[in-house]
Amino acid sequence: MPERREAGETRRAMRSDAEQNRARILDAARAALDASGDASMQSVAKLAGIGQGTLYRHFPNREALVLAVHRHDVGELVDAAPALLAAHPPLEALRRWFDRLAAYGRIKHGLAGALHTVTRAQLGDEGYGPVVAAIALLLDAGRAEGSIRPDVDAEEVLLLVGFLWRIDLDADWEARSGHLLTLVMDGLRGGPGRPSPGSGGAE
């Protein structure tokens, strides 16, 4: 029936508009919070080019918005692992994923003040497991082809790259983080001459 088709098309259009508004809000919130951890809901709405009513329909309070930004960024980071493996050899995919992790670390620096308003349980439980699983996927692919050493696990690697959250955001941040990630990659690299697990590299 024409009326039913029109109603369905209207609902789809409304969903599409809502999804576009949500994406615009998240982009604006990330930019606003990166610039200032104290960014207000009003400033986010203005930056997104929407009314405050639209913002509050999507996110009832500032804490909900901050958590949504965090979830979105973690989701993009996790989803990147299989996509990178599909396009690159495992070792290159891992390095490219580390570069994305570094970018996320920089964003998290900007969000640090705002994230203090959200409970540790909300942040840790939702983000830690998926990130570890993404690292494990990359490591498994590298181990299977022999390009990554066999005696490390995903949680150890996440500990190794934890420095990304502690580097000061100054002019040298990108160079310093890139150099440290190169050192991590050198340590993870497999192949001839690597010590066997448990040997400590000594005879």
Range 77-82 average pLDDT: 96
DSSP conformation letters of 162-199: GGGGTS--STTHHHHHHHHHHHHHHHHB-STTPPPTTS
> How much of the chain exceeds pLDDT 70, in percent?
76
pLDDT score of 169: 64
Determine the Cα–Cα distance for residues 37 and 101; give it in Å rounded to an integer. 20
Q: Which residue has the tokens 């001459």?
A: 193
Q: What is the largest CA-CA distance in the chain?
A: 81
In whole angstroms, what is the distance from residue 159 CA to residue 103 CA?
17
Q: Which CATH fold would you assign to the domain 1-60?
A: Arc Repressor Mutant, subunit A (1.10.10)
Bridge-partner residues for 34, per DSSP?
Answer: none
Query: Which of 1.10.1740.10, 2.102.10.10, 1.10.357.10, 3.30.70.1230 would CATH assign to domain 62-193?
Result: 1.10.357.10
Q: What are the tens digits of pLDDT across the range 85-97?
A: 999 999 999 999 9
Whole-model pTM? 0.75
Q: Is the pLDDT score of 106 beyond 80?
A: no
pLDDT score of 142: 96
pLDDT over threshold 90, residue 47: yes
Q: What is the pLDDT of residue 202?
A: 39
199 versus 30: the higher-pLDDT residue is: 30
Cβ-proximal residues to 151 (8 Å cutoff; 6+ apart), any chain: 196, 197, 198
- Sorted by where each begins, the domain ranges of the chain are 1-60, 62-193
Task: Give pLDDT, residue 172.
Answer: 80
pLDDT in the model for residue 199:
44
More confident of the two residues 132 and 5? 132
The pLDDT-based confidence of 26 (bands split at 50, 70, 90) is very high
Query: For 150-178, what is each residue's pLDDT tens digit?
Result: 999 999 998 888 877 777 766 687 788 88
